Amino acid sequence: MSLKKLGICAPSARFDIKKFNSGIHVLETLGFHIDIPSEIFATKRYLAGEDFLRARVINRHFSDPAIDGIICARGGFGAIRILDYLDWDIIRDNPKPLIGFSDSTALLMTIMSKTKQVVIHGPTVTSFSDAHKKTIDSFYNTVQGKIENIELSNGKSIKPGKGTGILVGGNMATLSHLLGTRYQPEFRDAVLFLEDIGEPAYKIDRMLTQMKMAGVFKEIKGVITGSFKKCENEDYISEIVFETFDEYDVPILAGLDAGHGRINLSLYMGTAVILDADASKITWI
């Protein structure tokens, strides 16, 4: 995999033009050719245009052989609304990575579940406007196919051991909102990555309890937690995660620099990894 031309989509909230232009400049400086459809500048309330319009851009990018990969303008909210408007035959027949995080989790997980394609949990265009160098370097290497194993310098083993499975996950709130829908993700044999922003610990607890009661954790192979920026009582989260997954024989590793934190490492998802909680290491197979 080596991406040269990126198509921009706006599946979620409308975005700040200044941050968007700054992010585009970063991508162009990295050497990417950029396709910016005029439709992404539409607005509807807090959304980047009508649902069908936001989906149409994604369908067109997937069908265009000149586009190597697709990156979301920003996250926020609204991606779940366009799932019914996506052409899953076109997406399945024209595999290429979609890149994003936060609200984009709805797209990443559904693409993986319905097409078995790989996706990239990584920066959006607007988040490049003030991105840390590690974020930019990780993104560039990942989209060029240089998949780097990750050793967490500040990793914390919440539960020891090793596990091998398919890396899936993303924003916890978005994942929980997909439960019970026809787009509920596949968690079997997963190494599950979880992150969030602005959610107090009791809401993290409630979302994890909901997912556990739905039975989606029964066949997972491991758990990785990323950043929990601006989450009230953040020091409780490790305890909540341990209590949630204690009954399962899986390793749990906390402290991955991915999500809404200052550093957002790109994660090649939909493929197998080895999680070593003792060594604080994630290895792509």
Total domains in the fold of the chain: 2
Is residue 74 domain-resident? yes
CATH number for position 156:
3.50.30.60
CATH number for position 116:
3.40.50.10740
Same domain (yes/no): 87, 136: yes
Q: What is the pLDDT of residue 234?
A: 82
Q: What is the pLDDT of residue 38?
A: 98
Residue type, 220: I
Same domain (yes/no): 166, 135: no
Same domain (yes/no): 182, 231: yes
Same domain (yes/no): 246, 166: yes
Tens of pLDDT along 177-199?
999 999 999 999 999 999 999 99
**How confident is the prediction for the chain on average, in pLDDT?**
97
Task: Compute the radius of gyration of the chain from its Cα atoms.
Answer: 18
- Tens of pLDDT along the chain (285 residues) come to 678 999 999 999 999 999 999 999 999 999 999 999 999 999 999 999 999 999 999 999 999 999 999 999 999 999 999 999 999 999 999 999 999 999 999 999 999 999 999 999 999 999 999 999 999 999 999 999 998 899 998 899 999 999 999 999 999 999 999 999 999 999 999 999 999 999 999 999 999 999 999 999 999 999 999 999 989 888 899 999 999 999 999 999 999 999 999 999 999 999 999 999 999 999 999
Same domain (yes/no): 126, 182: no
How many beta carbons lie within 10 A of that of residue 251, not counting itself?
Answer: 22
| Listed residues 143, 173, 206: the one ending a domain | 143
Same domain (yes/no): 183, 82: no
**88 is in which domain, residue-wise?**
5-143
Is residue 243 domain-resident? yes
Same domain (yes/no): 158, 200: yes
Same domain (yes/no): 36, 137: yes
Q: What is the pLDDT of residue 2?
A: 77
